[in-house]
Structure 1
Amino acid sequence: MPVPVRRLAVMAETRATTAPDRSAVRSLLRLWPYVRPVRLRLFTAALVAVLASCTGLVIPLVLKWMVDGPVADRDTAGIWLGAFFLLLLGLVEALLFGMRRWLVARPLAHVEAEMRAELYARLQRLPVAFHDRWASGQLLSRATADLGLVRMFLAFPLTFLLVNSVTIVFGVVVMLLQDWTLGLVVLGPALPVVVMCVYFERRYAVMARRAQDQVGDLTTVVEESVLGIRIIKGFGRHRTQARAFRELSSTLRGTELAKARLLATIWAVIVTLPELAVGAALVLGSVQVADGDLSAGTLVAFLSTALALRWPVDSIGFLLAMSQEAATATERYFEVMDEEPEQDAAVRSDPAPDAGLRFDGVVFRYPDADPGSRPVLDGVDLHVRPGESMALVGATGSGKTTLTALVPRLHEVTAGRITLDGEDVAALPREELRARVAVAFEEPTLFSASVGENVLMGADDRAGAVELGRALAVAQAEFVHALPQGADTLVGEQGLSLSGGQRQRLALARAVVGRPRFLVLDDPLSALDVHTEAAVEAALRQVLADTTALIVAHRPSTVLLADRVALLSGGRIAAVGTHHELLRDNPEYAHLMSGTGRQEDDR
């Protein structure tokens, strides 16, 4: 099994076995804020189901009347009357259960939709560090499979655990009133069944959590395989991936079989013990009828009531199983919802007198890094003057991309501060900050939308064809006009129907379409050929003339776009100057620009 897949299997096992003890009831109670708006229909549905179930328990009483009355007296008219009442009771029961289903369908679909919408909204507000830690398949499974389990719980177990409990209590009272000795015989298995249910609940909770986590891991593998299909095919690794998937799928199969064995065990106990008790009551009741101590009608009514309680008793096992799965699904849902979203400062600071983009003693360490490890950035001081373009150069792993991600607060600084026109970015509302700062990353990301929609994501809602055309011209993305539907052409998932250079030009167009005051570009021209690069650079110079820009660069041609260059080395700014000054005076910079020292930045 490849290491990533093996790691997913181990993580699922660890999450299931090391999770803290919890109460399923307490977990499920967290659903109340979502259920509260539709509580009236749900309570009405539960009441209707109770009435339907209790209606079914009236049937044995009619049978008792028929056996001891019309049947014993050979009264044909009375028998037909009894049959009519039995038919009427059956129709009423069926109608009530159908009404219950109608009552819960719409509100529960609403609850599921609201929970999914809130989960998606929370994911948009969570910091990048959260998304770096979490596998996308785990998040996807929480938004789909887990919420499906929650909806099923609200539709079925939530109602029928109540309905069946009321039915069992009502049925036991009816049996005790008919003959208390037979009633005690039937009640004999109650204590062993309760003990088994408690034992079953604890073990099944662990297995249910493990299975749901493994489903998330399996979803991750499928998603990564689909997105990386070119790599898999290019290196001929499809058999290896298929084998790894089968092994992970086999692990999930084993967990599901373990769940099935637990459920089979509890179901065997819940079904067998009451059946034995009913059999004992039948023998004892028959003896009493033969001795004349009990009427035949009473015995028929008693046994009919006991048989009517088979479904409420037998269903306890899988209702508890579904409740446990819903409880773990709820826990997994709130694991995401309980994460702290990005927060804006409560009080906005007064701007400092300096303008432009400034880094003051910026220190950054990734949240999941060892606290004692060396920070990625350690005391960065840099000032990009208003209207100036600053190229950022450094060796692989020097933290260039990380530094650019701090400007729009994709990550939060560990220490120090970053200011835009004298205002601390930590004090700016994120919406305002990201309206001021536009970004284009080295790896362009496009969405399953039209070309125009992808580009106009970088502008406000009022932007239209004029702004789109200007941005495409700056990015030298005239190829858009040759697409089948022009700017309305759908680019497909991640824009993989386009070349790397085309995607990068669209990402650059998205960055400049809104005429931002600050522009952060992470090696935006790396995928372009020399002729296209020259054309883009010529157009980009006009944009940079009116913008304060920080540009990560690896090639001299990109560096020459900037007014000055900053060399990042050892987590600090080692030198600042023009390209020619640093080329002359700084050996490290000269080495990087020589060609042998240029590397692709990996972080």
Structure 2
Amino acid sequence: MSDTTPSPVHERGRLGALRLLLPFARPYRGLVALTFLGALLASLAQLAVPLVTRAVVDGPIARGDRAGLVPLLGLAFAFGVAEAALFFLRRWAMTKGSLQMERDLRDVLYQRLQRLPVSFHDHWASGQLLSRATTDVSTIRRFIGFGAVFLVVNLVTCSVVAVLLLLTYWPLGVAVLVTTLPLTVFGLRWEKDYNTESRLVQDEQGELTTDVEEAVQGIRVVKSLGRSELVFARYDRKALRLQALQLSKVRTLTKIWCLFEFHPQVTLAVILVGGSLAVGSGALTVGGLVGFVALFTVLLWPILSLGFLLAQAQEAASACDRIGELLAAPMTVTDAPGVEPRPVGTPARLRFEGVGFRFPGSADPVLRHVDLDVRPGETVALVGATGSGKTTLTSLVGRLYDVTSGRVTLDGHDVRDLPLAQLRTVVATAFEDATLFSMSVRENLTLGRPDAGEESVAEALRVAQAGFVHDLPWGLDTRIGEQGLSLSGGQRQRLALARAVLGRPSVLVLDDPLSALDVHTEALVERALREVLAETTALVVAHRASTVLLADRVALLQDGRITAVGRHSDLLAEVPAYRQLLSSDAELGPGGQQPVLSELGSR
């Protein structure tokens, strides 16, 4: 099991489920009350039939009074009609209420996943999140719509019937109550085991979902490496483990059901033997015995269903615990209390002041005392070896992560003092790994600027040299499929760049946005990109030597620190580490087409 799965089974069980479900039930108090009222009255109407049966046997049948049967049979029919009407009312209210609560819970959970910080998603497997948002929410809905109602109603029915049995003939009533003792003891013990096993099954389903998602998303890599059998073997091991856990769960559930199935048969035998003796001694009438047996048969469904309902309650409790882990996850990146929009210029001044950062749970900092001033309208290239902290530093601008020391400011305002909605409007980012969504090209482009006009879209496409979109079957309205895999890597990267430059943000953060482009397209993009960079403040992560030439100044990042800042030519002449880094890049450029060191120095 993945260490990203927080899987200790919580003992709070139903109480935890109740605390989670109550807020979602409040808006539908009327439907919930109607559901319970309909189910309870239907059960009570069902209880009236055995009482009428006893009156029929001891009255008209015992006296041979056929005329006396008519009103009693009419009364039984009326109770039957009432039960059917109440059953319809309960089903309508229950279905409507549970589906609406499921929708609300799913919406809240999805919104929570969107608001949780990137650091949270770094440590959680996607399959675990998907299983909670789908399977667990559906489990809770089934419990709300059926299990919770009948668990309460059946317990009330059992209590009412127990009182009626004691009033009908108390010795037999006491005998029935005594037979429930082993049912309670063994039932509670096995229910605890079932709770543990349910949680293990749900967690393992999340692990299996993660494997399926990774295999589907990485199908090109799997096929190109010829590792289908390896991926399947990994999946099969987890599937077998899930099967074993489910079988263990079924064995426990079988014990519970067998116990609840066996109990009524034994109890009915006790009633028939004891009742017959009581009738023979005159302590109980024949009608009383018939009514007693009829009352007990009303208990058959509540008793038989208790095993299933308690198992469903345990599954719902585990689902609530798993969802509760997401709802209780700390929101570390959020708006400060009372935060209000601040004036930010276009372009804005970007400053890193003594910035330090370490990932949660990590002992070693990624960034240490970083100081960097990017003037309005200036472009600064951030260079450094792999793992030096370049991408992490750029992530702090838009608060994908929050600094652990120091601060990042825009026009003198700490980014933590700006509303996130404003901050992520004035700061646009294009990542090296371009992510597109299963929607149209236009929707992908305007994701951050939904109000962008046709001219702005056309200009962004021109800058990113993404005119290929007009050749797609439906142009900008073409759906590009999940992850944009119907496009090449370079096409995806150009669309992501167009999305970032659309609307000319106050600060533009580019994380090596040209890495997937061929040399010819890269030159065209760079030429058009210079126009955009001249009108905005930009921080550009440069892994390629040619990208450095877009910048006014260059900052060298080594081991989490800015060790040199200056013009490219100055650093090339004065900083050996910078010269060595760029020299290595020139040698490793694709196809040998990167500018050589002497050419870089002359530009």
Give the structure-2-normalised TM-score. Answer: 0.93
Q: Secondary structure in 2 aligned to 1:380?
A: strand
1:344 aligns with 2:335: yes
Displacement of 1:334 in angstroms is 1.7
Query: 1:364 corresponds to which residue?
Result: 357
Displacement of 1:294 in angstroms is 2.3
Contact 2:194/2:314 (8 A) holds in 1:
yes
- 2:526 is aligned, of 527, 537, 555, to 537
1:169 aligns with 2:136: no
Q: State the alpha-carbon separation in 1 of the partners of residues 206 and 551 from structure 2.
A: 46
Q: State the alpha-carbon separation in 1 of the partners of residues 233 and 69 from structure 2.
A: 67
Mark the CA change 1:176 to 1:355 in structure 2 (over 3 Å): closer, same or farther: closer
Contact 1:171/1:306 (8 A) holds in 2:
yes
Query: 1:253 corresponds to which residue?
Result: 243
Q: Secondary structure in 2 aligned to 1:515?
A: coil
Query: For each residue in 1:257-296, what CA deviation from the matched residue of structure 2 results, as whole angstroms up to 9, or x when unmatched?
Result: 2222222212222332342122112012112223333221
- 1:46 is aligned, of 26, 36, 40, to 36
1:225 aligns with 2:238: no
Query: For each residue in 1:174-212, what CA deviation from the matched residue of structure 2 results, as whole angstroms up to 9, or x when unmatched?
Result: 222221111111111222222223222322221111111
Query: For each residue in 1:406-456, what CA deviation from the matched residue of structure 2 results, as whole angstroms up to 9, or x when unmatched?
Result: 111111111111111222112211111111111100000001111111111
Q: Secondary structure in 2 aligned to 1:595?
A: helix
- 2:370 is aligned, of 380, 391, 401, to 380
Displacement of 1:330 in angstroms is 1.1
Contact 2:465/2:494 (8 A) holds in 1:
yes
Displacement of 1:23 in angstroms is 4.0
Q: Following superposition of structure 1 onto structure 2, how do residues 285-364 of structure 1 map, counting pairs within 5 Å?
A: 285-341=275-331, 342-346=333-337, 356-364=349-357
- 1:494 is aligned, of 483, 491, 505, to 483
Query: For each residue in 1:205-252, what CA deviation from the matched residue of structure 2 results, as whole angstroms up to 9, or x when unmatched?
Result: 211111111111111111111111111111122222222222212211
1:265 aligns with 2:252: no
Q: Following superposition of structure 1 onto structure 2, how do residues 180-579 of structure 1 map, counting pairs within 5 Å?
A: 180-341=170-331, 342-346=333-337, 356-369=349-362, 371=363, 373=364, 375-459=365-449, 461-579=450-568
Q: State the alpha-carbon separation in 2 of the partners of residues 599 and 279 from structure 1.
A: 87
Contact 2:17/2:316 (8 A) holds in 1:
no
Query: 1:3 corresponds to which residue?
Result: none
Q: Secondary structure in 1 aligned to 2:196?
A: helix
Moved more, 76-85 or 494-503: 76-85
Query: 2:599 corresponds to which residue?
Result: none
AA aligned opposite 1:259? K
Mark the CA change 1:11 to 1:534 in structure 2 (over 3 Å): closer, same or farther: closer
Contact 1:347/1:427 (8 A) holds in 2:
no
- 2:580 is aligned, of 579, 591, 601, to 591
Contact 1:352/1:422 (8 A) holds in 2:
no
Query: 2:21 corresponds to which residue?
Result: 31
Query: 1:4 corresponds to which residue?
Result: none
Contact 2:356/2:405 (8 A) holds in 1:
yes
Q: State the alpha-carbon separation in 2 of the partners of residues 147 and 23 from structure 1.
A: 16
Q: Following superposition of structure 1 onto structure 2, how do residues 91-170 of structure 1 map, counting pairs within 5 Å?
A: 91-170=81-160
Query: 2:601 corresponds to which residue?
Result: none
Q: State the alpha-carbon separation in 2 of the partners of residues 30 and 593 from structure 1.
A: 56
Contact 1:362/1:416 (8 A) holds in 2:
yes
Q: Secondary structure in 2 aligned to 1:418?
A: strand
Query: For each residue in 1:153-179, what CA deviation from the matched residue of structure 2 results, as whole angstroms up to 9, or x when unmatched?
Result: 111121112211121111112222221
Q: State the alpha-carbon separation in 2 of the partners of residues 159 and 250 from structure 1.
A: 35
Contact 1:554/1:599 (8 A) holds in 2:
no
Displacement of 1:85 in angstroms is 4.2
Displacement of 1:348 in angstroms is 6.3
Q: State the alpha-carbon separation in 1 of the partners of residues 128 and 447 from structure 2.
A: 27
Give the structure-1-normalised TM-score. Answer: 0.93
AA aligned opposite 1:184? V
Contact 1:189/1:274 (8 A) holds in 2:
no
Mark the CA change 1:420 to 1:99 in structure 2 (over 3 Å): closer, same or farther: same
**Structure 1 alignment gaps of length 5 or more:** 1-6
AA aligned opposite 1:345? A
Displacement of 1:30 in angstroms is 2.7
Q: State the alpha-carbon separation in 2 of the partners of residues 28 and 131 from structure 1.
A: 27
Displacement of 1:351 in angstroms is 9.6
Q: Secondary structure in 2 aligned to 1:56?
A: helix
Contact 1:472/1:506 (8 A) holds in 2:
yes
Q: State the alpha-carbon separation in 2 of the partners of residues 394 and 124 from structure 1.
A: 31
Q: State the alpha-carbon separation in 1 of the partners of residues 581 and 198 from structure 2.
A: 54
Q: Secondary structure in 1 aligned to 2:473?
A: coil
Contact 1:401/1:552 (8 A) holds in 2:
yes
AA aligned opposite 1:498? L
AA aligned opposite 2:144? L
Contact 2:344/2:410 (8 A) holds in 1:
no
Q: State the alpha-carbon separation in 1 of the partners of residues 213 and 70 from structure 2.
A: 64
AA aligned opposite 1:344? D
Mark the CA change 1:292 to 1:351 in structure 2 (over 3 Å): closer, same or farther: closer
Q: State the alpha-carbon separation in 1 of the partners of residues 490 and 328 from structure 2.
A: 40
Q: Secondary structure in 1 aligned to 2:584?
A: coil
- C-alpha RMSD of the superposition: 2.3
Displacement of 1:526 in angstroms is 0.5
Q: State the alpha-carbon separation in 2 of the partners of residues 162 and 140 from structure 1.
A: 31
Q: Secondary structure in 1 aligned to 2:354?
A: strand
Query: For each residue in 1:367-401, what CA deviation from the matched residue of structure 2 results, as whole angstroms up to 9, or x when unmatched?
Result: 131x3x2x111111111122111111111111111
Displacement of 1:110 in angstroms is 1.2
Query: 2:597 corresponds to which residue?
Result: none
Mark the CA change 1:300 to 1:340 in structure 2 (over 3 Å): closer, same or farther: same
Displacement of 1:463 in angstroms is 1.2
Contact 1:458/1:514 (8 A) holds in 2:
no
Mark the CA change 1:464 to 1:11 in structure 2 (over 3 Å): closer, same or farther: closer
**Structure 2 alignment gaps of length 5 or more:** 590-603
Mark the CA change 1:20 to 1:152 in structure 2 (over 3 Å): closer, same or farther: closer
